[in-house]
Structure 1
């Protein structure tokens, strides 16, 4: 099975968010740091559809799992 590498910007686009570098930095700066006791998909700033996508991609260890993990780490760092 061949895995696909997705860019951070592609994940933001998949989530229906602005995907240019400035918008990604702004999003992370606005929402970080995410508390350790809050799962990424349970963060209050996601829509239900966004939360489902994030949850499904991590549970299925799908093509997007690596970049979702990167987003999780980015949101855990102090802004």
Structure 2
């Protein structure tokens, strides 16, 4: 049973990244995502992170909403 919180800090934890608010803000500020690039294709992910993001979106999984939110923040 998955008891993870499917929010932005939870997504960062799933991706193996620091999940504290200042760390999330710093990541977003330093990793711009070009509008024509899918989030899972961004060059700053490792293979495992990219695969997780793609699977979450392809399967419209519980993480999909958080992945979409992160994509929007990185594209801003």
Same-fold call, TM cutoff 0.5: yes
Please list every run of at least 4 consecutive aligned residues from structure 1 whose deviation after the TM superposition is greater than 4 angstroms.
Answer: none
- What TM-score, normalized to structure 1? 0.88
Query: 1:58 offset after TM fit, Å?
Result: 0.1
Contact 1:35 1:76 in 2 (8 A): yes
Query: 1:60 offset after TM fit, Å?
Result: 0.1
- 2:74 counterpart residue number: 75
Q: How many residues align?
A: 73
CA-based RMSD = 1.3
Name structure 2 gaps, 5 residues minimum. none
Query: 1:6 offset after TM fit, Å?
Result: 1.4
- What TM-score, normalized to structure 2? 0.91
Distance 1:8 1:38 in 2: 20
| Bigger relative contact order (CA 8 A; separation at least 6) | 1
Name structure 1 gaps, 5 residues minimum. none
